[in-house]
Structure 1
Amino acid sequence: MNSTTSPAGEGSRRGMLILIVSMILLFCWYLISDRFTPYTSQARVQAFVVPVAAEVSGQIQKVYVRDNQQVASGDPLFELNPEAYDIALARARSDYESVLSSVKANGEGVAAAKAGYQATVAAYENAAKDAERQERLYREDPGTISVRRLEIAQATRETARSQMAAAAADVRRATEAAGLTGDDNSQLLSARAAVHKAELDRRNTRVLARSRGLVTDLRTDIGEFVGAGAPVMTLVAINDVWISADMTENNLGHVKAGDKVAILLDSMPGHVYTGEVRSIGYGVNTSSAQPAGALPTVDNNRDWLRQAQRFPVKIAFTQDDHPPVQSLRVGGQADVMVYASDSGILNFFGRIYIRLMSLFSYFY
């Protein structure tokens, strides 16, 4: 008895075959694209976040900015009451003038001590010559001069020698007290450094932006006393914004610096931006250190498949397709796809996929 296949059964088998082949093709495409056009939704907008604080303490006198205001390098942010630092600067300058006068006086003292020493040297030389003459006359003819006169001449010579030694000691003391001469004098250097420190503190009462950025988290107002180093606002450096994408290890096999990247920002749905890989992280911290005397903590993995380790990949926007600064928020989420090969087919399907994701981003 011959059995015939009905058209409905033949169509069912054909549909099942098409479904199986499609699933196999999709699975192969997933494996290949995961290596050559890797995609991740674990990406966030990053930038340098700088806490802004004064280097000196004082009461806030003026606030020049408001939240979400863009500032350029050198723009004033806030200012402290400078009165106390004006007084300190005036005192430092007065001390410097006093030290300068003291150094000059010490220099004159050294000159006077040296002049006194030269006078004692001359007196000693005269006394020595007179004593030698008296001694020579006494040796040649003891009756020429009296012994008393000879002893007086010898005593005068010894007194002159002692006075010369004392004058030399005075010169040494005056020189040590005066220190080095000119700009190398230690007292003068210390006083000048105090003036520079007072001038620096006075300038630091006016806090300026160190780079171009966006002011956020403003937490102060006029009249508040702030301590040195206490942040009062945050400056987001918008001149250098990048994407930090966490990709699995098997995604990174063909990824290298300079590869083109498609970027989808949650804050800008429907638009795909272009960028390039800046760098690839070469290490992550996988364990927390245990304190001494504690037992190690073991994490039990009950999954059938081990979770893949992820590494950070830094991605920079291209200059000709940079999103508006107002649309970028540090910590904002993003989707990225890296074109790690020159395969036109894979890149074509990758562009279709990221474009579809950009449309879906309107709904989530």
Structure 2
Amino acid sequence: MAIKRKIYALSLILVTVLVLAFVLFRIDASPRTDDAYVYADTINVVPEVSGRIVELPVKDNQLVKKGDLLYRIDPRPFQNSLDSSLAQLVTLDEQIKLSERSVSAQQYNADAVAAEVASARSQYQQAQDTYNRQLALAGKNYVSREELDLARTARNTAEANYNTAKLQARQATAAVSGVDALVAQREEVKVQIAEAKLNLEYSEVHAPFDGRVTALKTTAGQYASPSQPVMTLIDTRQWYVIANFRETDLKGITEGTTATVFVMADTSKAFSGSVDSMSYGVAPDDSSTVGGLPLVEKNINWVHVSQRFPVKIKLSEADRGLFRIGASAVVTLHRDHKVRQD
């Protein structure tokens, strides 16, 4: 009887050791933590322009689709600005047309005066040549003094006319204006039009992706400005779980390591995922320094607690009604299983 008891006791011890070994193996192969929470990317929906909200078709915690209207700011000031700039552009276009016709007339006049200069120059040159011939002949008594005086007078008159024509040509050329200033002003107005159109577009804010509205604490009639978000939008297209694992559990854990996730709100549902990334730095508790050197307490704590590092788990599926940012979760990593990377 005593032998049977010994055998029974040894068998029980052996089974206990085997079970313990199996549990330790499973723990080592599949580290687990309940220090985890659900996470998703969010954006603050901040208006690009200031104005009063005239339409707010969404409510807090509502699901929205990409492109859905979130809110509309009173567009009238921006529409008025656009209409005013468009009217200025039309006015400038008409002014440019009138100025171009005036410039054309001025250029025609300058061209005509330039032709008169050429004619006066020819007449002056001809009078000068005639006077030179008369002067040469007068030395040989072939031309009377009266004829020489007439040639000199004709030359002087032609020279005066030539000088007058050149002065008129300079004045006509200087009088030719341009439309450069109006064209530059037109470009400035076009910039104002583009800005007014952009502000008018900004008066309507649409969802940039499928998501859920949260942190909405206002209603139509509120004055909105770029310095204050109207709401927060949760990106529900992709959910994550941030799990804090002991540093001793991270051996062999890499990007793509598969994971099983349970959300504490309903532990009957398991969700699959894989490691998206792991943190490579956390703030230590004893990070205070003295004179640039670390401050180490003199007392010794013989129990060393392993540091925990956040591991970001990308979920392959999600429950729209169950998943909330910050919800508690339990994560198990499967060290020997990896997701195939494309």
The bucket for the TM-score relative to the shorter chain is: 0.7 to 0.9
Instruction: Indicate conservation of the 8 Å contact 2:239/2:318, yes or no.
Output: no
Q: Which residue of 2 aligns with 1:240?
A: 238
- Which amino acid is 1:132 matched to? Q
Q: Which residue of 2 aligns with 1:341?
A: 336
Deviations along 1:212-268, one digit per CA (max 9) or x if unpaired, are: 101112111122212224211111110111112222333222112222211011122
Q: 2:74 aligns with which of 75, 81, 93?
A: 81
Structure 1 residue 133, shift from structure 2 partner: 0.6
Instruction: Indicate conservation of the 8 Å contact 2:92/2:186, yes or no.
Output: yes
Q: Which residue of 2 aligns with 1:211?
A: 209
Instruction: Indicate conservation of the 8 Å contact 2:256/2:275, yes or no.
Output: yes
Structure 1 residue 138, shift from structure 2 partner: 0.5
Q: Which residue of 2 aligns with 1:195?
A: 193
Greater C-alpha radius of gyration: 2
1:298 has 2:295 as partner = yes
Q: 2:157 aligns with which of 131, 149, 152?
A: 152
The 3 A distance-change label for structure 1 pair 135 and 284 is farther
Q: Which residue of 2 aligns with 1:356?
A: none
1:164 has 2:169 as partner = yes
The 3 A distance-change label for structure 1 pair 218 and 11 is same
Structure-to-structure mapping, 1:1-364, within 5 angstroms: 7=2, 14=9, 18=13, 22=16, 26=20, 29-30=23-24, 32-33=25-26, 35-142=28-135, 143=147, 145-171=150-176, 174=178, 176-178=180-182, 185-284=183-282, 298=295, 300=297, 302-318=300-316, 322-341=317-336
1-structure distance, mates of 2:13, 2:287: 54
Deviations along 1:264-304, one digit per CA (max 9) or x if unpaired, are: 1112222221112223334445599999x987773648532
Structure 1 residue 39, shift from structure 2 partner: 1.6
Gaps spanning 5+ residues in structure 2: where? Answer: 136-146
Gaps spanning 5+ residues in structure 1: where? Answer: 1-5, 179-184, 344-364
Structure 1 residue 122, shift from structure 2 partner: 0.8
TM-score, structure 1 normalization? 0.77
- Which amino acid is 1:188 matched to? R
- Which amino acid is 1:63 matched to? L
Deviations along 1:123-159, one digit per CA (max 9) or x if unpaired, are: 1111111110110100111435343332221122122
Identity across the alignment (%): 25
The 3 A distance-change label for structure 1 pair 201 and 77 is same
Aligned residues: 325
1-structure distance, mates of 2:296, 2:106: 83
- Which amino acid is 1:95 matched to? Q
1-structure distance, mates of 2:103, 2:332: 80
Instruction: Indicate conservation of the 8 Å contact 1:260/1:275, yes or no.
Output: yes
SS in structure 2 at match of 1:271 = strand
